[in-house]
Structure 1
Amino acid sequence: MFDRSPDTAALRKVLAEVYTHGHGKDVRGGGTAPVRTPPTTGGHRFATVGERGPLAGAVVRVLTAALGPRRWEPWNPYNDHRAHPSPRSAFLVDVWLVERGRRWRVDPVRRLLSGPAVEPGFDSTVRLELTRHPERLTAGYGPVADALSVLESGHVLAALAEASAGLGLAASLDGDALLLGPALAAFADHATPPDSMEVERVTGTEHWWRRVTAPRSSGPYPVGVAPDPRPLATQTMHTLVRAALRPPSGSPAGDGSLRHRLALSRVAGHPDGWYAVAGNAHGSGSGSTVERLVGGNALDQVQSAFSYERAHADVSSMHVAWVMTADLRAAATTGGAAGYRAVLRTAGAVAQHVASAAAVAGLFCRPVRSVFEARLEGAAGAPAGHDFVYLLLIGRTRFGGFAYDLSGEEPR
């Protein structure tokens, strides 16, 4: 007899949601216009708030680096670029600064905190809470918009964690919120980026600041996404793997729920084929390895599973196609809808760390969900109980284009 217990009914509901988030919907346009957040008309300027002390100064720099506009590309239909990607530059996640029950919405474009008239005091731990807004995508996305917004929340949390680590702040994760504590002693008297010898002695800060401020790219769009064909260095590929396995404090990337498979092509020292990522997120040395599973043109297999034409993205010419899968039924069984969303959030965070490491190496990293899932799961050798979660397309940028640099300091 079919089990109709409440737990089974709840599980069926979550799995039905997982199914609607899969491939099969037309998300390339159509539907009603997206919903936009009304512009902030007033608030507390970052420049003023940052003068309240070392913690305040560091926090506003975290918000600026992780959330603020980086460049504007006039030739790109989605031309607002920040430290983290967002589908169609819709930016589906808002960040709120919360202190003693009061909430200020972060406006990273105007560099304002919008909310109560009183400024936050920054005299204790600062809480950054995330809210998701899938309604900002066009109606043509349907239920997929919700999955994309959860993935983006992982990107945002990871970017905030990298920026916090780059400024020596203590960061810890609390659900969809990040808690930031006072700066380390070596960084307590100023809130400048870690570019002096004094701050470089704080282990790791320079590394993380370089990561969060690198010029991230998802690949030039107007001429299609195709990389420079020159081989990728072995060390570069291992750097990307370490970035996935060794996240900073406060990132949701390290919960171990994902399985990673890499399709490699033209990577020095690694014959073309499928590889498994193995390693320890907290181990010594590189902390990561890749093990060859099967040879052949794995990128061609990924191309055949990609739902857009080769002219839009020449996947077979990439250097790395990074496939993430997970046991979504197990996640839903143990954690319900929250368990499923936690897997998506983790995947978004891992993707963000890989993307920032790729940016430092001069590579683009394009996260996508538009695949024929069963076809890609089979090519990647996913276990029978695993479902596709996220795909990263990585290569060295071949084409460039004029862009306005938006990353400078706020005018006085």
Structure 2
Amino acid sequence: MTETDVRRFAYRQGPGKGLFGGAIEIDDSAPTTAALPPAAARGATGHPLPHGTVALLRAAPYPHGRTETATADRAGHVLLTAFGLQRREPSNRFNDHRVVASVRSKFPVHVFTVSGRGAGYLDLYRHALVDLDLPSSEVPPPLGDLDVVLAARYTDLPTPYGRLRCALGDLETGINIRSLLVAAQLAGVRAQLSLDGDGSAAAARMIRAAGPGRWSAPARVALSGLVAPIGGQALPGTAADPTVFEAPDRLLAAETGHPSLDEAEQVNRHRFAARLPLAAPAPGIPSATAAAAPAGTGWDGVFWNRSAGRVPDRLSGFSGRPVRLPESAVQEFLAWAAVPAPSPELAEIGQRVRLLVALQNVGGRLTGYYEVARDGLRPVREDPAVMNSLQAAFGYPVSPGTDCGLRHASMVWTYAVDVPALLADLGPAAWSLLQLWCGWTAHGLELAAAALGLYARPARSYDEFRVQRLAALPRRTVPVFMTVCGRSRFAEPMLDLRT
């Protein structure tokens, strides 16, 4: 796939989606492979994860508190902090909720581990790192004490998403990378991101050996300063009846051949060709924030509050209500957005992206669009009706089965870039790296929102040309991602799944 092919691929799932396909319609009763562990991760041995992560996080004040734990349990607490189950929402059509956001709560990004003691698979419902039943020749050597390998399985997302599953998989990988680096920083663990093509290809071979499917190019994060978990321990409970996996395995085999995934695989090849050195250790948490969060906020509350929005009565979408936020709130978001992505290549991508935000009822600022600059926010366009206009440009309107609270949002963050220029300057792998950067930045905004009791909804469903005009963007610069933030109008008691 050439640079021109990648440009076409990007266009067909962005500005050209109205020409090359209609609106995506999802039957939520149709099965996916989302809950299916890889074939090699269904055994009865592994490493049980520790309990008490939520207590450790409760004792760590936001934003600069740190968790204190025994060295032997540190790896497990880091994994649960980064990816753990949080809650089940009775009225939500999509459960369960984790620390990270995911399309329809499908969580296509799977978490593998590699150490000198072998390879494992994070199974949150078994509360364990399950041993991967693989020969040692299929397991790449680790870069740190414990490597965390992140890869998205495209068939976990509903088939109608088509080629968009490629971008969504990379976006969620970027979200998971940020979540892992935040967790590592909270535990005092050194974390380094590797996107090198050779290392990614070796990790991809391990993942393919662990189970069939179409996977994104993996990202590896090397963790140092902890003890790798010891596998081989008998896990609680009895082994699953193999017949449980028969139907989803047949679905996986069928969906793996979907034509749209051929394009995704070709895009991945550019990542495998990239020669990117191991990045320096990088933080996920800003060194200074605006201290806008309520006093006494602990990290457990931040992760619990992380939400893409809620609606009642099993509707889809998200509700909202008007609220006035202080100026410190937008400064909190800016601090999280300013944390550079954890590799020179991703940081270079970030330099090419224009990050803008539409504000409504924030401090004393006029309603309208602003652009993030080195010294803060630069006014772009005053528009008292900007949120109503953005709602009209959003991908799904208010209907009897759908709510959309965008008109009441406090902030709409918009990520925009000249895609042809980006690919011409940095090569065809830049499309995939752009998605990682957007995910990295989006999760920072999600945590800032959660600390302030706001929702933060990542979105790719909108009319690019209308948003482009609202944000006063040049013709070649198109919005590639969006994060809507505000106060939810709906709340209800929720089932706590934390340990």
TM-score range, shorter chain: 0.7 to 0.9
Deviations 1:147-179 (A, max 9, x none): 111110011101101111111111111111111
Q: For residue 48 of structure 2, what is the aligned residue in structure 1?
A: 46
Q: For residue 379 of structure 1, what is the aligned residue in structure 2?
A: 470
Structure 2 residue ranges without an equivalent (≥5): 53-68, 196-218, 227-286, 289-295
Shift of 1:43: 3.4
Q: How does 1:158-169 map to 2 (within 5 A)?
A: 158-169=178-189
Q: How does 1:21-170 map to 2 (within 5 A)?
A: 21-22=13-14, 23-24=17-18, 25-30=22-27, 33-39=31-37, 40-47=42-49, 55-100=71-116, 102-116=118-132, 124-170=144-190
Deviations 1:200-237 (A, max 9, x none): xxx88x99956863420111123652323121111011
Query: Which letter maps to 2:24?
Result: V
Given the two structures, how large is their TM-score scaled by the length of structure 2?
0.68
State how many pairs are aligned. 370
In the alignment, is the contact (CA less than 8 A) between 2:302 and 2:450 conserved in 1?
Answer: no
In the alignment, is the contact (CA less than 8 A) between 1:258 and 1:347 conserved in 2?
Answer: no
- Does residue 18 in structure 1 map to residue 10 in structure 2? yes
RMSD: 3.2
- SS of 1:70's equivalent in the other structure is strand
Instruction: Measure, in 2, the Cα distance between the counterparts of 1:214 and 1:11.
Output: 41
Deviations 1:246-286 (A, max 9, x none): 2586799744232111111111211111111112xxxxxxx
Instruction: Measure, in 2, the Cα distance between the counterparts of 1:251 and 1:227.
Output: 38
Instruction: Measure, in 1, the Cα distance between the counterparts of 2:396 and 2:445.
Output: 23
Shift of 1:97: 0.6
Q: For residue 359 of structure 2, what is the aligned residue in structure 1?
A: 264
Instruction: Measure, in 2, the Cα distance between the counterparts of 1:101 and 1:336.
Output: 37
Q: For residue 304 of structure 1, what is the aligned residue in structure 2?
A: 392
In the alignment, is the contact (CA less than 8 A) between 2:341 and 2:440 conserved in 1?
Answer: no
Q: For residue 193 of structure 2, what is the aligned residue in structure 1?
A: 173
- SS of 1:228's equivalent in the other structure is coil
In the alignment, is the contact (CA less than 8 A) between 1:162 and 1:208 conserved in 2?
Answer: no
Instruction: Measure, in 2, the Cα distance between the counterparts of 1:229 and 1:252.
Output: 39
Q: For residue 233 of structure 1, what is the aligned residue in structure 2?
A: 326
- SS of 1:220's equivalent in the other structure is coil
Instruction: Measure, in 2, the Cα distance between the counterparts of 1:397 and 1:229.
Output: 9
Pair 1:373–1:43, CA change in 2 (3 A): farther
- Does residue 320 in structure 1 map to residue 411 in structure 2? yes
Shift of 1:79: 1.9
Deviations 1:52-111 (A, max 9, x none): x95552221111111111001121100211111111111110111112494211112322
Shift of 1:27: 2.4
Q: For residue 377 of structure 2, what is the aligned residue in structure 1?
A: 290
Pair 1:143–1:316, CA change in 2 (3 A): same
Deviations 1:118-146 (A, max 9, x none): 9x999953211111112112211111111
Instruction: Measure, in 2, the Cα distance between the counterparts of 1:266 and 1:328.
Output: 32
Shift of 1:314: 2.5
Instruction: Measure, in 1, the Cα distance between the counterparts of 2:2 and 2:463.
Output: 27
Shift of 1:393: 0.8
- Does residue 400 in structure 1 map to residue 487 in structure 2? no
| Segments of 4+ moved more than 6 angstroms | 120-123, 250-253
- SS of 1:301's equivalent in the other structure is helix
In the alignment, is the contact (CA less than 8 A) between 2:311 and 2:490 conserved in 1?
Answer: no
Q: For residue 198 of structure 1, what is the aligned residue in structure 2?
A: none
Deviation larger for 67-76 or 9-18: 9-18
Instruction: Measure, in 2, the Cα distance between the counterparts of 1:10 and 1:208.
Output: 48
- SS of 1:218's equivalent in the other structure is coil
Given the two structures, how large is their TM-score scaled by the length of structure 1?
0.81
Instruction: Measure, in 2, the Cα distance between the counterparts of 1:46 and 1:245.
Output: 37
Instruction: Measure, in 2, the Cα distance between the counterparts of 1:243 and 1:381.
Output: 24
In the alignment, is the contact (CA less than 8 A) between 1:162 and 1:212 conserved in 2?
Answer: no
- SS of 1:275's equivalent in the other structure is strand
In the alignment, is the contact (CA less than 8 A) between 1:163 and 1:212 conserved in 2?
Answer: no
Instruction: Measure, in 2, the Cα distance between the counterparts of 1:247 and 1:62.
Output: 21
In the alignment, is the contact (CA less than 8 A) between 1:55 and 1:122 conserved in 2?
Answer: no
